[in-house]
Chains A and B, each alone.
Chain A
Amino acid sequence: MQQIINFIIRNKNFLLSLLLFSISMVFTIQTHSYHKSKFINSANFLTGGIYNSINNFTGYLSLKSQNQVLAEENSRLKMLIFNSENKKDSTYLDTITYSGTYKFTLANVIKNTYSGANNVLLLNRGKNDGLKEDLGVISSKGIVGIVDGTSKRYATVISVLNTVNKISAQLKKTNHFGTLFWNAKSPYYIQLIDIPKIAPIVKGDTIITSGRSSIFPKGIPIGIIHGFKLDAAENYYEIDIKLFNDMTNLEHVYTIENIDATEIDNLLNKKVNE
């Protein structure tokens, strides 16, 4: 017993380091799986409040470019209204075309990161505004991410620039679908894998969300094909996509809630259980 206590006293620095290091590792590993980062996220009273007040201040700096983005969106929506005969050529960004299945909420990005490998955004809307886990987040130009954690007034969003993210996407002209991921190299490009070799792929084609999960509706623009090659087994394409969204400059975003999501999920789970 004496020896054990002596050992602990002699190596207390090492043991303390080891303990604290393991705690950090647990936190780190938790962030690599969905909806586990409960303790260490920025959607709490203190950090959310600080980021909110900073954003109140720095928001003025990007006012001009954000106005430009909103004006562009306005003009596109106006165009949609005035040309509503040929709906098929238009993008699916407004609620009208979904006959009320999707509920949109406006939010501001109060913290944006894109330099790390697992980027998380912070929104100034939370549970009080009806946000919850697994809502899609888009901007006027394309997808942004998926809501991860929520507090009363703030929500964290797993950005598309996150190595954890797996979003289903497809070609706009055919229905071949694959999975989006990010190789953490450039904030302007993401990667699409598992597109079968048979799909007709041309540089410059548009990629949209596939609507195969209940998170994003079908048809939200993602980006255009920048380059592609076959994978090692030569069965699937690996595609580099240039994002429509400038992820380095985000201010106004929308969260999408699929009102039928629980119904769809229940149905799918029932199928699995039987």
Chain B
Amino acid sequence: MNNTVFLHITRFISLVFLQVVLFNNINFSGYLNPYIYIMFIALFPVKNNRFIIIFLSFFLGLSIDLFSDTGGIHAAACVFIAYIRPAILKFSFGVIYEHQTIKFTTVEFGEKLTYLTILTFLHHLVLFLLEMFNFSEIILVLQKTLFSSIFTILLILIVTIIFSKKTK
């Protein structure tokens, strides 16, 4: 038990650190950054209390906000996806979720991709909507959401593949 708590604390800190130091400075083609810190929310164990994950997501987002001077947009987006995560899980994994036995290392690739795509897309949509704070720029918001999501999903997949190989 202590081991998993320690693992999640390490994951939390290292993801915030990596996001702030490395991934916020990629600026691919001017404005595209991957937000891979949402991996923490995506891969958080399903069995645990929802109360905890919503709380942790808030602090995850807030620490990113603190570093990037963005007010509360990351925190808001994180709380949003943490709250609707069960619905997305149910949609993408179907019956397995009902039995509460999902392990992210064992599920099928296609289902995992659906899950990550929906989660990332919703997170980025809320994030960029709040960042612009202006509905007249909706095209720009959607454009940023789309391209950043692709970037984020690719990176999350790469990272999960690399780290799952290591543990085997």
**Residues in A lying within 8 Å of B, measured CB to CB:** 12-14, 16-17, 20-21, 23-32, 37, 40-42, 44, 47, 50-51, 54, 113-118, 120, 122, 156, 163, 184-187, 248
| B121: interface (CB < 8 Å) | no
Q: Specify which of A113, A118, A185 is in contact with B24 (CB 8 Å cutoff).
A: A113
Question: Which residue of A14, A30, A51, A113 has the most chain B CB atoms within 10 A of its CB atom?
Answer: A113
Identify whether the interface residues of B are mostly helix, strand, loop, or mixed.
Answer: helix
Report B127 CB to chain A, min CB distance, Å.
10
The residues of B that contact A13 with a CB separation of less than 8 Å are: 50-51, 54, 83
Chain A nearest CB from B98 CB (Å) reads: 18
Contact B51–A40 (Cβ < 8 Å)? no
Sort chain B's interface into a size bin: 35 or more
Most chain A beta carbons < 10 A, residue from B21, B50, B72: B72
Write 17 A-B pairs (CB below 8 A) sorted by A numbering. A13-B50, A17-B82, A24-B65, A24-B75, A25-B130, A27-B71, A28-B70, A37-B71, A40-B65, A40-B66, A40-B71, A42-B69, A113-B69, A118-B71, A184-B137, A185-B140, A186-B30
Does A20 contact B66, Cβ atoms closer than 8 Å?
no
B79 at interface by CB-CB < 8 Å: yes
Q: Known: A27-B65, A28-B76, A28-B130. Is A116-B83 also a contact (CB below 8 A)? A: no
A114: nearest residue on chain B (CB-CB)?
B27
A135 CA to B131 CA in the complex, in Å?
25
